[in-house]
């Protein structure tokens, strides 16, 4: 319903401005030109942010046991149960994005539209905080962290082995297992590489321990994702029918 405005916001996020830096006049002109050329066009292809999200979902679906251990039915059931939880959480995060973006009032959306490619004004308006939007933002951040942690423990090849063992030992379906038994089970799993080593589908490394910067990165990530939600959901729907 606000596709043109959101498409515009998404395009803005391709530039360093999303980290609080100023955009050159040349870049601003490029943005204006892009918006004029693509105004009203149907987006058939997802942008890189949504594409990485989709890739992460597909990687989770592809993970499992190593070929030589494929007859371990008990572990395969555990894997499938965890996959189901994670795939549902991917959908939960998409719903979080919708709620968060919808919490930006129609008035602010109109203001953003009116100011066009004035990126400084864009940041100023977006910085205006209200409790509802903050609550939805907090929920999005929390669910992203749960999703990333679940992916890392269960399927991410780059997740530290000792940390994986520690988390796995606390899982209800590992109750009663000794460390050696758990090590053996984990060695049977086929772990995969995700777009980002620790973030799976989002790069939070630049935030370090700065929680405010982390919030800004996730807010801009959500803006970027929101512009592609329809295309992404259509693709997921088509995949379900295959």
Residue 56 structural domain: 3-241
Distance CA 190, CA 160 (A): 15
Angle between helices 179-187 and 161-169 (to 10 degrees): 120
- Which range is least confidently modeled, 37-41, 78-82, 92-96, 182-186? 37-41
Res 7: pLDDT: 43
In the chain, how many domains are there? 1
Residue 162 has pLDDT above 80, yes or no: yes
CB 228 within 8 A of CB 46: yes
Res 214: pLDDT: 93
Res 218: pLDDT: 93
- Which range is least confidently modeled, 48-57, 110-119, 149-158, 207-216? 110-119
pLDDT tens profile 78-112: 999 999 999 999 999 999 999 998 887 554 655 55
Residue 11 has pLDDT above 50, yes or no: no
Q: How many CA atoms lie within 13 A of 59 on its CB side?
A: 21
Prediction pTM value: 0.73
**pLDDT band at 242, cuts 50/70/90?**
confident
**pLDDT band at 173, cuts 50/70/90?**
very high
Distance CA 84, CA 142 (A): 19
Residue 118 has pLDDT above 50, yes or no: yes
Distance CA 239, CA 56 (A): 15
CB atoms under 10 Å from CB of 93, counted, come to 20
């Amino acid at each position: 319903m606000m596709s043109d405005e959101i498409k515009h916001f998404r395009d803005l996020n391709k530039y360093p401005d999303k980290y609080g830096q100023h955009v050159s006049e040349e870049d601003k002109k490029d943005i204006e030109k892009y918006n004029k050329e693509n105004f009203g066009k149907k987006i058939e292809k997802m942008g890189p942010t949504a594409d990485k999200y989709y890739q992460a979902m597909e990687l989770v679906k592809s993970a499992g046991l190593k070929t030589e251990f494929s007859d371990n039915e008990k572990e395969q059931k555990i894997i499938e149960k965890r996959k189901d939880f994670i795939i549902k959480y991917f959908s939960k995060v998409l719903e979080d994005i919708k709620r968060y973006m919808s919490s930006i009032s129609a008035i602010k959306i109109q203001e953003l539209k009116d100011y066009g490619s004035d990126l400084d004004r864009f940041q100023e308006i977006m910085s205006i905080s209200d409790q509802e939007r903050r609550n939805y933002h907090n929920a999005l951040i929390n669910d992203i962290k749960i999703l990333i942690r679940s992916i890392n423990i269960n399927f991410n090849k780059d997740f530290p082995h000792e940390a994986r063992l520690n988390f796995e030992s606390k899982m209800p379906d590992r109750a009663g297992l000794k460390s050696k038994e758990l090590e053996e089970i984990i060695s049977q799993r086929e772990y995969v590489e995700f777009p980002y080593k620790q973030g799976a589908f989002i790069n939070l490394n630049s935030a370090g321990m700065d929680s405010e910067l982390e919030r800004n990165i996730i807010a801009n990530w959500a803006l970027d994702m929101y512009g592609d939600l329809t295309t992404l959901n259509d693709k997921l729907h088509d995949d379900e029918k295959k």
